[in-house]
Amino acid sequence: MTTIETESRYRSGVESQRDVVIVRGQGARLWDDAGREYIDCVGGHGTANVGHCHPTVVEAIRRQAGTLIICPTVFGNDVRARLLERLVSLAPGNMGRAYLGNSGTEAVEAALKFARLSTGRPGIVAAKGSFHGRSMGALSATWEPKYRRPYEPLVPGFQHVAYNDLAAMDEAIGEDTAAVILEVVQGEGGVNIGDGDYLCAVQDLCRERGALLIVDEVQTGFGRTGRMFACEHHGLEPDLMPVAKSIAGGVPMGACLIGPRVENLQPGLHGTTFGGNPLACAAALATLDVLEAEDLPAEAERKGRWVIERLRAIDSRLIREVRGLGLMIGIDLRKRVTPYLKALADEGVMALPAGSTVLRLLPPLVISDEDLATVCDAVERVLTA
């Protein structure tokens, strides 16, 4: 049996899979099992900001794997302590603590639970078009009906309002609202850019009414949008900030950063066995070193500006709009995106969808200018063919 046949026979079947077997990655390049090379604009769904197998991250993982892999939080650990201190030093505002988990979903789940703990209120307001993960709590905050419906009833107390609509948010935040959860740029929902005035006004409404603001930076964090965190574009100071994806260079990790207004976090109220394991913490420390040493948030801003301008110059009736912030870029098409992803792969470029019509590019931030030009040329050929 081929690799794809073996996977299709034995995997659960709940994930969709393309007919390509990837066996190696380096920087912004991937190789399949036939030795074919691709420029990677999937970026491990936005986890590969420092590039695949960055030597600094690989070396840190190697070293830590020979020292200590697992250490539950019931014990202290030197590497975990260093990472917590480092994360807090990078976070916007006065976020002084962090909870460590293993994925974006877990980071969101922690934020939702901490908001209820802190306020004693049940309500969560989320936005239409949002994606926050697929566990029962995170899924309750996610908008997409096709992900939600098969699992209903979901967690009570959640409602969704139109994104970038301040009047709708004003109406939704009440005395029973524990938190509002928003993305600065909606990723899975179609690369929808949050309006800065709207986001700041929502923060003010939360403060006025005793609700907490959760900004989900799982996809936007760690340089993706041209700042270390997308909150920095607008001076936002969230109370809870879930992060994950590229935090540890591709090793599974998530974290929920916690601001000073969050209360009542007592021992025993939440936890997970693998969260804060030294192997992932070492990978994360090395990833943060690379992000800073190579100034990757600034690189994302410079490269993203060039790519967006280049894509906007493509003359194609298929393109409705090109949107983006940093290297989080969406090309909204007038048709379903799937055949164009396949055509791009045939051109040697891997990209991903966002919703049903948006072609999304999430390349590693280390991608070269030359590779970006090749990607844009391929997109132009595919969308004007």
By CB under 6 A, name the binding residues for ligand PLP: 45, 103-105, 108, 131-133, 183, 187-188, 216, 218-219, 244
Q: Is 133 helix (H, G, I), strand (E, B) or coil?
A: coil
Contact 276, 73 (CB under 8 A): yes
CA separation for the pair 326, 332 (Å, rounded): 17
| Closer to ligand PLP by Cβ: residue 114 or 376 | 114
| Closer to ligand PLP by Cβ: residue 216 or 301 | 216
Q: Which residues pair with 156 in a beta bridge?
A: none
Q: Which residues pair with 25 in a beta bridge?
A: 30
CB of residue 244 to ligand PLP, shortest distance in Å? 5
Place of tokens 């899975």: 188
| Closer to ligand PLP by Cβ: residue 189 or 376 | 189
- Break the chain down into helix, strand, coil percent, rounded to 5: 40, 20, 40
Closest residue to ligand PLP, Cβ-based? Answer: 104
CB of residue 182 to ligand PLP, shortest distance in Å? 10
Q: Is 382 helix (H, G, I), strand (E, B) or coil?
A: helix
CB of residue 46 to ligand PLP, shortest distance in Å? 7
Q: Are strands 185-186 and 192-193 parallel, antiparallel or unpaired?
A: antiparallel
CB of residue 353 to ligand PLP, shortest distance in Å? 12
Q: What is the DSSP letter of 353?
A: E
CB of residue 104 to ligand PLP, shortest distance in Å? 2
Torsions phi, psi for 39 (to 5 deg): -85, 130
CB of residue 266 to ligand PLP, shortest distance in Å? 26
CA separation for the pair 313, 49 (Å, rounded): 26
| Closer to ligand PLP by Cβ: residue 130 or 376 | 130
| Closer to ligand PLP by Cβ: residue 29 or 132 | 132
| Closer to ligand PLP by Cβ: residue 216 or 237 | 216
Contact 222, 292 (CB under 8 A): no
Q: How many CB atoms lie within 10 A of CB 268?
A: 5
Quick one: how far is CA 161 from the chain centroid? 21
| Closer to ligand PLP by Cβ: residue 32 or 144 | 144
CB of residue 183 to ligand PLP, shortest distance in Å? 5
